[in-house]
Structure 1
Amino acid sequence: MEKSVVSATEQEINALMALHPKGFDLSLGRITRLLERLGNPHQRLPPVIHIAGTNGKGSTGAFCRAILEAHGLTAHVHTSPHLVNWHERYRLGAEGGGQLVSDDVLADAVRRVAEANQGETITVFEILTAVMFVLFSEHPADVAIIEVGLGGRFDATNVISNPAVALIMSISLDHQAYLGDRVELIAAEKGGIIKADVPVVIGAQTEEAACDVLISIAERLRCPVSVYGQDYFAQEENGRLAYQDEEELIDLPLPRLAGRHQQSNAAAAIRALKAAGFELDDTAIAKGLTQVSWPGRLERLPQGRLAEATMEGVELWIDGGHNPGAGKVIAEAMANLEERDSRPLFLITGMINTKDPVGYFEAFVGMARHVFAVPVPASDASIDPELMADAADEAGLTAESAESVEAAIDAVTRNWNRLEPAPRILIGGSLYLLGDVLERNGTPPK
């Protein structure tokens, strides 16, 4: 979707940003008040798959959607933030596959929600969450896949009182200023989406303490709980994915999404759909795993303006991971690529100032040949590239600043030794940066 067709929505949202805080102010009071004025649309949704976690929410939601659609079902999907256009946050279920909401429908929904708010203090995210509830209540679908924005307990999506399943993905340190500086505290916040007697599925966790907190909350609320590695798991066997839970063992193709971590994410999606009461067919699950799409997450850019401007043979990858936990997962995926096709790895990284760049960069020590730190365009929260380069140095990498992604790509390729394999370049650190990259490349999400 080109920028030229989103003007109506952008005008409505830009007006809201001028009136209301753009930042986080975690509370349910304002959204509850607004939804009451709108007739409580959140109470008129199809069965909800509610997804929280530090990493893996979006890709696991994408697996859920792909598997459901492979079964002939329709699924609404809410994600945040968007990469290029606001419309990406709202995918409306439709026969043959969900579609991003059209500009006129979204602009109208934003306008109606803003009018109902009557100019009262509220965050833009809360307005946009209310828009999601309005859209999803007014358009029929078999299921709604709703991703938490920040945290869980006081996130605006947590007015959902009776989801079909609460799915909680990997938890690590992120947004400490809002959620706490220990994984146990962050887990408690994200576990706030767990409701009494509702099935809970816990995805693969790197922190045992986080998993313990989630299990404790689920048990206290009398929830059936499934834990990855205990009640269900998946592993690669002979180029295939073996999924197993207490009910069955399923032989499946490997997921289309790159990275070994996507195997456990796919398993969490399968388990969550089963826990929510959907009867799944092995053939349709396999179809979903091979057709799933989740832009900007370990995605190779084989074509487009930026990709075509690089020297021949260069591999250009993007990923929006931006915290230490994501850094470990992405570095592992790059290591797996290196095993199959050895190439020098360069990072082009930009972050906003709520992130931990040193922790992110540490995962790439011994792998990345050099880091180019770049600004995040159109963000007043962008970390200065010089400070980003210092963070990479502190982590143990060599680094320098660059004025843009294009300048960094040019610096990698300009004096490249042609006797070496063409490099692999990973652009990441911020979803906002990736949005700019995809727009400049001419390949926005659809």
Structure 2
Amino acid sequence: MKTVAEAINYIHSRPKYGQANTLKRMHYLLTVLGQPQKQLPAVIHVAGTNGKGSVATMISHILVAGGYQTGLFISPFVVDFRERIQVNNQWIEPADLLIYTQKVAQAVKAVEKKLGNDFRPTEFEVLTAIMILYFANQPLDVAVVEVGLGGLYDSTNVLPTSRIAVITSLAYDHCQILGKTLSEIALQKAGIIHDDMQVVIGNLPSETLPIIQAHQQPIITGQAGEFLPGLPGKYQVENTAIAVAAVRVLQPDLPKAVIEAGLTASHFPGRFEKIAPNILIDGAHNVAGLTALVAALKQRYAGKIRLVIGSLADKNIGEYLPQLIDDDQFKIILVNFEGVNNRPSLKLDQFQHQSGLTVIDNWVTLLQVPVKDLTVFTGSLYFISEVRSVVWQQKNN
């Protein structure tokens, strides 16, 4: 590979999933790379069903405002692939992304030669290795790392310098992988908690608290309302409290003015983001996220709202549709889209003739006829990334 585009294509070409319930591939890959994870600074590790990207972003902005050299790893991306790996809230430079992808690609060959095709490093494992290697070569004071999926067997759960575990929320998502009950899901999320760590939690379901407490590490909760939310949306009040609590575990004496400055500077594309006068996007990719989005919309907008949902097939959005259909404020539109690595969207055939729903194959047509009502595009972050890109292109043409 000789270009950034080729590097990104290489990452996306990796298998989406590998053998489950193992970190063997990841550990071996890091061994070939010289154990760069041991060179990382203190890590704030952020897990949760919803809110983890927002919380990680706000933590990073507060720390940068406080003068900390801060690495940030989030997923997926909305604007540009490079936003997944940041230092001081600046995306990784194209040249660096290419260089570190080349290094990891060479290590991947060694792993596959040693372990065989059954242990081919996955897309997210490759990206995680790139992040670790890059951060290990930067003068960082702290790294904020968002979990990709679950926690216990997530490829980010190999960081010996993790000092703070954050669990933002627990709800039903990825149930085929993480479990079909909240307790099973909590076991996976809580897998990032290790000895000598402090734990920051959001408003978790009561039945999951014993699972968190079983790790016998100090547990801290935030104070909702102490600071104005760092990002728009009613649901960001809780996320802001979690972010502030995590920062205070790391640095208890950080002045309020610094925290406020970091929150004010926070920006996270695709979270309750207005991209045109009457167009808003939000990555509410599951029932819990969609419920929070609807509550935030009802709080801020009194008029009719077109809610355009582009969801991946493995999500549980369909369970929430009957409740949405009964709300006269919303007009519900389901649309087709294709995720990265050809991940299929929600099968729309089952909704074609359902009363109260509109089904559209080509969502771009919704932008071609202006309407007075607020239009909210939501669902998969891959989908709203497409929407954001198309709208920005139309603005600039």
* TM-score normalised per structure 2: 0.90
Residue 9 (structure 1) shift:
2.5
Q: Which residue of 1 aligns with 2:248?
A: 274
Runs of 4+ in 1 over 4 A off after TM superposition: none
SS in 2 for 1:441: helix
SS in 1 for 2:156: helix
**Cα 1:329–1:202 shift into 2, 3 Å:** same
SS in 2 for 1:373: strand
Residue 202 (structure 1) shift:
0.7
Amino acid at match of 1:105: D
Aligned counterparts of 2:264 and 2:358: Cα–Cα separation in 1: 39
Unaligned runs of 5+ in 1: 1-5, 236-242, 244-251, 303-313, 417-421
SS in 2 for 1:321: coil
Q: Deviations over 1:183-216 (max 9, x none)?
A: 11000001000011210111122x2222332223
The 5-angstrom pairing of residues 43-442 of structure 1 reads 43-93=38-88, 98-118=89-109, 120=112, 121-205=120-204, 207-217=205-215, 219=216, 223-226=217-220, 228=221, 232-235=222-225, 243=226, 252=227, 254-302=228-276, 315-338=278-301, 342-362=302-322, 364=324, 365-366=326-327, 368-377=329-338, 379=340, 380-383=342-345, 386-387=348-349, 389-390=351-352, 393=354, 398-410=356-368, 413=370, 422-442=372-392
Aligned counterparts of 1:73 and 1:382: Cα–Cα separation in 2: 41
Aligned counterparts of 2:29 and 2:230: Cα–Cα separation in 1: 40
8 Å CA contact 1:348, 1:408 repeated in 2: no
8 Å CA contact 2:40, 2:161 repeated in 1: no
Aligned counterparts of 2:323 and 2:266: Cα–Cα separation in 1: 27
SS in 2 for 1:156: coil
**Cα 1:53–1:16 shift into 2, 3 Å:** closer
SS in 2 for 1:355: coil
Q: Deviations over 1:165-193 (max 9, x none)?
A: 00111110100111001111000001000
**Cα 1:151–1:24 shift into 2, 3 Å:** farther
Count of residue pairs brought into register by the alignment = 382
CA RMSD of aligned residues (A): 2.2
Q: Which residue of 2 aligns with 1:238?
A: none
SS in 1 for 2:3: helix
Unaligned runs of 5+ in 2: 113-119
Amino acid at match of 1:284: V
Residue 403 (structure 1) shift:
2.8
Aligned equivalent of 1:21, options 4, 15, 22: 15
**Cα 1:409–1:211 shift into 2, 3 Å:** farther
Residue 334 (structure 1) shift:
0.5
**Cα 1:12–1:350 shift into 2, 3 Å:** same
Tell me whether 378-387 or 66-75 shows the greater mean CA deviation.
Answer: 378-387
SS in 1 for 2:170: coil
What is the percentage of aligned positions where both structures have the same residue? 30
Q: Deviations over 1:231-254 (max 9, x none)?
A: x4213xxxxxxx2xxxxxxxx3x2
Amino acid at match of 1:225: I
SS in 2 for 1:82: coil
Amino acid at match of 2:53: G
Aligned counterparts of 1:373 and 1:262: Cα–Cα separation in 2: 26
8 Å CA contact 1:165, 1:200 repeated in 2: yes
Tell me whether 267-276 or 28-37 shows the greater mean CA deviation.
Answer: 267-276
Aligned counterparts of 1:336 and 1:387: Cα–Cα separation in 2: 33
* TM-score normalised per structure 1: 0.80
Residue 261 (structure 1) shift:
1.7
Tell me whether 317-326 or 402-411 shows the greater mean CA deviation.
Answer: 402-411
**Cα 1:34–1:329 shift into 2, 3 Å:** same
Answer 1 or 2: higher relative contact order, Cα 8 Å, separation at least 6: 2
Amino acid at match of 2:100: A
SS in 2 for 1:144: strand
8 Å CA contact 1:357, 1:388 repeated in 2: no
Amino acid at match of 2:48: G
**Cα 1:360–1:79 shift into 2, 3 Å:** farther
Amino acid at match of 1:423: D
